[in-house]
Structures are given as C-alpha cells and as structure tokens.
Amino acid sequence: MQKKNEQTMSRIYDSAENLFSEKDFHDVKMEEIAKKAGVGKGTIYTYFKSKEDLLFQCLTHNVEEHQKGFSEVINSDKDFKKILPEVFNYMYAFFKAKSPLIQGILSLMPRLKLSDTDINKARQMFQNGLNESSKFFQRGIDEGVLINSVTSRQIAIIFQKMFDFNVLFAFYGEPEMSAEDCYNFFKKTFFRQE
C-alpha cells in the first residue's frame, strides 16, 4: 500500500509541476492535475489541503535530493576553480526547473497562507543550502582563490541570490543570466586579482 501511495504522490507532483510550468497558477485547475495524474480530484485533496499547498509542496518535495547532489559536486576532490563552473551549472539547472513554481509562489504573495510547519520547513531547507555553500566558499577563501574581505556566508548568500534574480527576471519578463553569465559575474566580484 505504501508503494502505491508513493506512486500516486509522484504522479500528482509530476502532473502539477508540469501544469504549473506551462500555465499561470490561477489558470491551473485541480481537475486538470487529477486527470493528468490519472487520479480523482478527491484523491489530491487527501494529500494536499489546497492548490496553494500543492504548489508549495511541489516546490519543496525534492529539495533534499537536490541538496545531496549539490553536496556531491562541491565535495569532490577536484580543484576549487575546476568545481566552481560545475556548481554554477548545477544551481542554474535547479533554479531553471523550479522557477515556474517560485514564480507561482511570488504571484500569490502575500495572500499565500503557509502553516508554521511549512515556513519552518522552507527556512530549514534554505539554511541547509546556505550552510553547504558557505563551507564550499570558505574552501575557496582558504585556498586563496576568493577574496577574504567578505565572509564565506556572505558569498553564499550572494551566490544564491544570483539565481533568485533569474526567477525575478523571468517574473518581470526580463532576459535571464545564463550559468556562464552568473559564473563570470561571480569571478569578477569574488576572485582575488592575480
């Protein structure tokens, strides 16, 4: 029974993420999600309180998986400078995939009602990602690649914000920065002058 529930949840997530990526949040109907997932509309409501809850859960449901993959990239034995472009490509791909969901969340603010549990879950996820990034950038400072006039945590926050900006650029209809654009900006800002 557990496996069936996991399969149902997976189909609901996949269907909802696809529809939220194709259409504006308000244009997506729960009936469409149910039909695409091959379940009844009532089944969705056994797992999610509302369409807003489903959107938030779609945004957060596989973040731990992403963080594990991110950890594998940043903890490789390669030289810091060689890993860095991979880090930018990884984050770019993640934010590109999640951008429509984040835009949906942004369009609902401040009307989006999240439980304290959901808020704490999101806060913890961001904190975990920030801690991992901060350790990685401290390595770059320690190896003399990155400037030390700012903390590794400040670098990690700016690093993440670069990808947040792409979400906002898309939200406002502006062209996004590529992973290479982000990387080049980062190099100009944080690399020590040689």
Domain spans, the chain:
1-60, 62-194
Decide: 43 and 34 in contact? Cβ < 8 Å.
Answer: yes
Residue 5 and residue 44 in contact, taking contact as beta carbons nearer than 8 Å: no
Q: DSSP labels for 59-82?
A: HHTTHHHHHHHHHHHHTSSS-HHH
Radius of gyration, alpha carbons of the chain: 19
CATH fold of 62-194: Tetracycline Repressor; domain 2 (1.10.357)
Torsional sign, CA 84, 86, 87, 88: positive
CA dihedral sign of residues 123, 129, 130, 135 = positive
Which two structure tokens, joined as six digits, stand for 64? 């731990």
Vertex 138: Cα angle to 132 and 140 (nearest 5): 110
In this predicted model, what pLDDT tens digit does every residue of 47-84 receive, in sequence order?
998 898 898 889 888 888 888 999 999 998 899 999 99
Query: What fold is seen in the domain 1-60?
Result: Arc Repressor Mutant, subunit A (1.10.10)
State the residue for tokens 């835009």.
Answer: 103
pLDDT in tens, 8-53: 999 999 999 999 988 888 899 999 999 999 999 999 999 998 898 8
Instruction: Say what the pLDDT of residue 1 is.
Output: 45
Please report the pLDDT score of residue 3 as a whole number. Answer: 59
Residue type, 121: K
Q: Is a pLDDT exceeding 70 seen at residue 175?
A: yes
- For the chain, the residue count is 194
